[in-house]
Amino acid sequence: MPAYRIYYAEREPTDDDRAAFPSGRLGGLGISRQEPYAETEWEEEVEAESEPEALDAFFRQHAPDRSRIRLLDDDGNPQEFEGWDFDPEATYVWIENERMMEYQGLDEATPGMVTCPLCDGHGEVDQEIADEYLAAFASEDGDNPS
């Protein structure tokens, strides 16, 4: 069965967002696309037969109450998500553990490969190469990249 890497981010609202949406809820429910915002990026691997099925499995775990998922329109405004067919090209937002989250895309994962730490997750490399890079980066900076 194919595996997919799903990319998503936790978004920390700006002071403007907090003023506009004091409830902290999505859309009318309350998320704003104003810049700048703090963002923590995440990725998760999901096995599924297709991209829409991978998203369905992902959202069953991260947003089991589908009424909490919103689809962002072309202007960045949240719209109610209706139905069960996810579009891998669309942008979805939801609240998870009182945090605003945003789906940012997916890629089919190649068995035995990991996301590239040098190109910020946009590509795959062999695990050994990623480990070598991370070890070299950590020794140069005296810090561990994450």
Neighbours of 139 (CB within 10 A): 9
What residues pair up with 26 in beta bridges, in sequence order? none
What's the pLDDT tens digit per position in 110-130?
A: 666 666 666 665 666 666 777
Coarse DSSP helix, strand, coil percentages of the chain, rounded to the nearest 5 percent: 25, 35, 40
Half-sphere exposure of 47 (CA within 13 A, CB side): 2
What's the pLDDT tens digit per position in 42-91?
A: 888 899 999 999 999 999 999 998 888 999 988 888 888 877 789 999 99
pTM: 0.66
